[in-house]
Amino acid sequence: MNRLQNYAFDQWVAGTGPQTTLFHAVTGAPVAETSSGGLDFGAMAEHARRVGGPRLRALTFHQRAAMLKALARHLLDRKDAFYALSAATGATRSDSWVDIEGGIGTLFAYASRGRREFPDETFHVEGPQEMLSKGGTFAGRHICVPLEGVAIHINAFNFPCWGMLEKLAPALLAGVPCIVKPATATSYLTELMFREMIASGILPPGALQLIVGSAGDLLAHVTEQDAVAFTGSAATGRMLKESKAVVEHAVRFNMEADSLNCSILGPDAVPGTEEFDLFVKEVAREMTTKAGQRCTAIRRTLVPAGLEEAVVQALTARLAKLTIGDPAVEGVRMGPLASKGQVRDVGAAAARLREAGELVYGDADFAVVGADRERGAFFGPMLMVCDAPFRRAEPHDIEAFGPVNTVMPYATLDEAVELARRGRGSLCGSLVTADAATARRVVLGVAPYHGRLLVLDRTSAKESTGHGSPLPNLVHGGPGRAGGGEEMGGARGVLHYMQRTAVQGSPSMLTAITREWSAGAAQRTDVVHPFRKTFDALEIGDTLVTGTRTITLDDIAAFAALSGDRFYAHMSDEEARTNGVFTGRVAHGYFIVSAAAGLFVDPALGPVLANYGLEKLRFTKPVYPGDTIRVRLTVKQKTAKDTPEGGIPQGVVEWDVEVSNQHGEAVALYSILTLVRRAG
């Protein structure tokens, strides 16, 4: 039998003392044994802070992103081994795909975001410059720097791969080392994937550590620079969140707890509509995917009064076709729960739910294909109906973490909203309707109680990822019972592991600190046009102030003829004056941008390779015939790009552009991005 090992202080360590035996969910046979006995948890945390933290923080976001991408590729090449062992957890191939390739996909997603949304720096500048004085000599910026502690990740049993990777990706991208504590029951799969991450040699020393077994007194050693992320039951999460050191040091604690998620059938989605069929399919899928062991699974099914029987009939017909058994057997669509302990817990919760309603599908005598029902951790789907959902609290309070669901009627949309809110905080909810007014009313009514909402209709059905699928670019979490936290959500997940600090000072000082030019900071001009300089030669603050150009009526007429833009304010003095905005005929804004380019562009072949984009364009004052414009062009930020094999070394330069009139007033403000050749 395989004896799992912990990974501490950059080496594999077997736990001492009594071992916990882990069992195959299908056969009931022992799979592995594990223990974390003998580990010094305080020293592990200190090792992460002292060894892993400095090495990760020395890397830029782009370097950390490259590390995540390489790690994802390494794991993807070895996915077959993960799938083979995942079968022991009771997962079907499609269940395992979400866990294994979904987790690896999260690494890829954050690798991409690290390059696109963060600078090639060790820190992040967030938001625009804030001017704090009339004279422009005092301003503020927000910077985000990595926490100088350790991220402790305590994960649930249901997704031993994805649960680990969806937390690691944003933490490592932020530059924070991690200690991973998977749920013991399925930790053998986590350990296998973790071994591959270490074997890759991609991560610096101290970046990752693993505990397979009890976390002991780990949380007694946390400091104000640490962060804890927990996924699991609300009761366990509250206990950990109230730990003495967590409270005393105000440790960041992100909790994602199991919740009583609901799906609502819209009044328009009657039997015979595509939406009704979509609803039934979605509810049945959420009941049976991963044998219902998902924190996002539908536990409460809300339907218009009078449609209960139709919904129950359609659901039971679909569930009756379900084949339960060993996922390795052809045709099996639902495997067992993760453990015998889960069977007991789900059965006890389901029995309490039956007190509040009628069991309309499911019993103890269900068929299992290719396995012994008594040896494995099998549990058949159970569907209840509670016809008094406002008088019975059980469906809104008790969660059976398995293939168990309760159908409840509502009379009005207000009642549907109220029933959804009675979950007291959910990770996700869904509404199936083709009616936009219904969607708006329900979404705005239930949004305060939900972390994510899916509105499903025939238009989105083909490409929808479904009710229960968290995505790395959207937040995963929810208020109240769901834990009150947020994970992922693109850049938001990274910033959870960073300290946001407001920095005040002169624009020149802010520019020196952030390496991003701030308005009002010193500017450097010389006789060399900035378009004649390579990426390496350009410096933040390099500025060109152009000559002038007077805008004429002929210019406006010519641009209108060329572009086809004959908006009345550009073509008629009288009509322009009547709109209350202009005092007469006005130049096209896009002509001003084009004319500005004519003033600052150096036309000769040189280091500038291409225009890469234009951002944040604002027209702040109209330009009339006879006005004279000039341009101030300043290097705001530089970002080196990787050079593809055989490609030209290059970087992206962001230029701050201000177009002003003869009175020195800004008429247009924007940034342009150019690809500029690097010297190397």
Which are the catalytic amino acids? 256, 295
Going by DSSP bridges, is the β-strand pair 543-550/608-619 parallel, antiparallel, or unpaired?
unpaired
Which H or E run includes 411?
none
The Cα-based distances of 420 to 284, 298, 322, 398, 585 in angstroms read 19, 12, 28, 14, 56
Contact 478, 259 (CB under 8 A): yes
Q: What is the CA radius of gyration of the chain?
A: 30
The Cα-based distances of 195 to 208, 345, 627 in angstroms read 11, 31, 68
Pick from 334, 347, 232, 233: nearest CA to 287? 334
Tell me how crowded residue 304 is: count the other CB atoms within 10 A of its CB.
Answer: 22
Give the helix ranges, DSSP H, for 321-370. Answer: 340-354
The Cα-based distances of 367 to 23, 195, 322, 370, 415 in angstroms read 22, 37, 10, 10, 38
Pick from 544, 556, 397: nearest CA to 481? 397
Give the helix ranges, DSSP H, for 308-339. Answer: 308-320
Nearest 5 degrees, angle CA 43-CA 44-CA 49?
95
353 contacts: CB under 8 Å, gap ≥ 6: 384, 394, 395, 398, 400, 404, 406
Contact 260, 286 (CB under 8 A): no
